């Protein structure tokens, strides 16, 4: 199968360009406490590792995971360890801090010590010495997390040490996103933005002006929107750096990635 050639976008505060569409690794690690309209079986470890490798060799080299995604980090790490050095160097890898999911329930801790411990654990699980981007995964108390400053401060120190490439904030609300833009330590925003939720558009414009990258989470509103409409609608905005889509179907992921490439090409 011929590998996809996907367009890339960059931002002044991002250390390297990233493909306009990437893969979110939620479904290979967790199927409890989900917000998708239809449930799914968790793949086996062998199936999950094979899927990650297939996605990379398909040409999708941007991957997002999190400790709260159950087995995801561990499984992604196993897969990345099995890639060639050339394949692995092309992968843009991001994860998150702030949330853990254990015993069927999420718990949140945005303290400096918790963030330091989380990054250390993620590096070990993902079998890597460096993370391209780490997000603070808000529980909805965006402004309080930012005002406290411990989480962002800890990630900024990891960035100074070269362990983290960029510091990101995954916001739930417009005011939280604006508070993140006001923090000079934040390099990137993760926002929900799609045809059913356009309220983040002014924030995206301001992020672009300040050199911040913008990644889009839940671009299909947890599987309720038609990709053929939602993906082009999102990527018509030049301030969007990358769209993160999930899923366990390589065929569907390839179709969405091809759609993203066509969408960007048509706007040039």
pLDDT in tens, 16-64: 999 999 999 999 999 998 877 778 899 999 999 999 999 999 999 999 9
Q: State which fold the 8-267 domain adopts.
A: TIM Barrel (3.20.20)
DSSP-assigned letters across all residues of 98-158: SEEEETTEEEE--SHHHHHHHHHHHHHHTT-S-BSEEEEE--S-HHHHHHH-HHHHHHHHH
pLDDT in tens, 167-209: 999 999 999 999 999 999 999 999 999 999 999 999 999 999 9
Quick one: pLDDT band at residue 268, thresholds 50, 70, 90?
A: low
Name the residue ranges covered by the structural domains of the chain.
8-267
Q: Which pLDDT score is estimated for 1?
A: 63
Rounded alpha-carbon distances, angstroms, from residue 46 to 43, 66, 67, 77, 142: 8, 20, 20, 13, 37
Quick one: pLDDT band at residue 142, thresholds 50, 70, 90?
A: very high
**Arithmetic mean of pLDDT, 251-258:** 96
Distance CA 81, CA 129 (A): 12
Residue 57 contacts residue 84 (beta carbons within 8 Å): no
DSSP letter at 2 equals P
pTM over 0.85: yes
Q: Which pLDDT score is estimated for 266?
A: 79
Distance CA 225, CA 125 (A): 33
pLDDT in tens, 144-171: 999 998 999 999 999 999 999 999 999 9
């Amino acid at each position: 199968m011929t590998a996809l050639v996907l367009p890339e976008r960059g931002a002044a505060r991002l250390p390297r360009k990233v493909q306009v569409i990437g893969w979110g690794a939620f479904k290979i690690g967790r199927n409890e406490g989900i917000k998708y309209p239809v449930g799914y079986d968790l793949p086996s470890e062998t199936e999950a590792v094979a899927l990650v490798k297939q996605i990379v060799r398909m040409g999708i080299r941007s991957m997002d995971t999190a400790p709260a995604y159950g087995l995801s980090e561990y499984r992604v790490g196993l897969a990345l360890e099995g890639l060639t050095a050339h394949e692995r160097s092309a992968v843009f890898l991001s994860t998150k801090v702030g949330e853990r999911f254990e015993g069927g329930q999420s718990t949140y801790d945005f303290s400096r010590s918790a963030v330091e411990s989380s990054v250390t654990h993620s590096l070990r699980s993902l079998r890597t010495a460096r993370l391209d981007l780490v997000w603070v995964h808000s529980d909805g108390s965006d402004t309080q997390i930012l005002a406290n400053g411990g989480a962002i401060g800890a990630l900024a120190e990891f960035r100074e040490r070269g362990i983290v490439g960029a510091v990101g904030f995954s916001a739930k609300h417009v005011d939280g996103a604006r508070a993140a833009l006001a923090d000079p330590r934040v390099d990137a925003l993760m926002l929900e933005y799609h045809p059913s939720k356009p309220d983040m558009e002014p924030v995206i414009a301001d992020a672009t002006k300040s050199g911040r990258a913008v990644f889009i989470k839940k671009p299909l509103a947890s599987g309720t929107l038609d990709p053929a409409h939602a993906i082009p609608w999102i990527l018509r905005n030049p301030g969007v750096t990358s769209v993160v889509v999930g899923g366990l179907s390589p065929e569907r992921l390839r179709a969405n990635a091809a759609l993203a490439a066509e969408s960007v090409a048509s706007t040039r």
